[in-house]
Amino acid sequence: MGLAFTKMHGIGNDFVVLDCRERAFALDAATIARLGDRHTGVGFDQLLTIEPARDPSCEFYYGIYNSDGSPSGQCGNGVRCVAAWLKRAGALRAGAVRLQSPSGPVAVELLDAGRVRVDMGVPRFAPAEVPLDLPAAEVYALQVAGSDLRFGAVSMGNPHAVIEVADVASVPLATLGAALSTNAHFPQGCNAGFAQVLDRAHVKLRVYERGAGATLACGTGACAAMVVLRQRGKLDETVAVELPGGTLEISWAGPGHSVWMTGSATFVYEGEIDE
């Protein structure tokens, strides 16, 4: 018997979803990287496993693995796909539910037209919580790949660096983003987001994700960019974040409050992997 999977995406951030509610699979890093290869495997930005919840207050647990096989603590586009998958499988009741991520419980709300609203939690700015090995500051400075970068840092369940730029289209994402994502001042690496403010309610964003590379969309990256720029007084409470794969709605009332993300979850196809 092969290993059944579902291919999904959230505005272009693509996933392989595995149903592990009743059957566990041996998913070592090498196996995940083999499946994640877009030429010789299925291809994905992240692999998502749906498992029984460890936390009794949650309906299910979901694991997150990057295409290089490394684990991730959170994935905003991924949790929307997990919720949509569970709804289609008849495993979620209507309305608001709680799912358990590697970073803790997440509240999700299933909306109409394939849209899902997610409580992404309270952003954490303290360097130790990102984690970031630099003294606390609103704006950090590092020289990376020959460029002097000024950035904000935040954890949305995974570490993010946010750089405001005049034009996201001109950013050398494959080189500068890659170098920042593996900079030694981020002990766990980071997701490098380059954000362009169009107006107080509209941001353009490109993200180089640790362990996955440049992706069409990054949900936690959209949240990170919004909160860092809102902390600087540049954005309103609700913002459209435009990524190469589509647009997410991000809302944040300010420090001490959760960030809310709304976006789509799309089914692509079902398949089976030879074991």
* CATH code for the domain of 88: 3.10.310.10
Supply the pLDDT for residue 45: 96
Instruction: Please compute the mean of the pLDDT values over residues 21-39 and round it to a whole number.
Output: 91
Instruction: Return the bridge partners of 241, or none.
Output: 203, 248
Q: What is the pTM of this model?
A: 0.91
141 plus 90 within the same structural domain = no
Instruction: Out of 20-34, 73-87, 127-141, pick the least confident.
Output: 20-34
Supply the pLDDT for residue 96: 86
**Helix, strand, or coil (residue 43):** coil
Residue 41 has pLDDT above 70, yes or no: yes
175 plus 247 within the same structural domain = yes
Tell me the residue range of the domain where 144 lies: 127-257
8 Å CB contact between 48 and 86: no
List active site positions.
75, 218
Neighbour-count burial of 13, counting CB atoms closer than 10 A to its CB (0-12 exposed, 13-18 middle, 19+ buried)? buried
97 plus 203 within the same structural domain = no
Across the chain, mean pLDDT equals 95
Structural domain count of the chain: 2
Higher pLDDT, 269 or 27: 269
108 plus 138 within the same structural domain = no
Give 176-214 pLDDT, tens digit per residue. Answer: 999 999 999 999 999 999 999 999 999 999 999 999 999
8 Å CB contact between 66 and 100: no
pLDDT-derived band of residue 127, with 50, 70 and 90 as boundaries?
Answer: very high
138 plus 157 within the same structural domain = yes
Instruction: Please compute the mean of the pLDDT values over residues 246-253 and round it to a whole number.
Output: 98
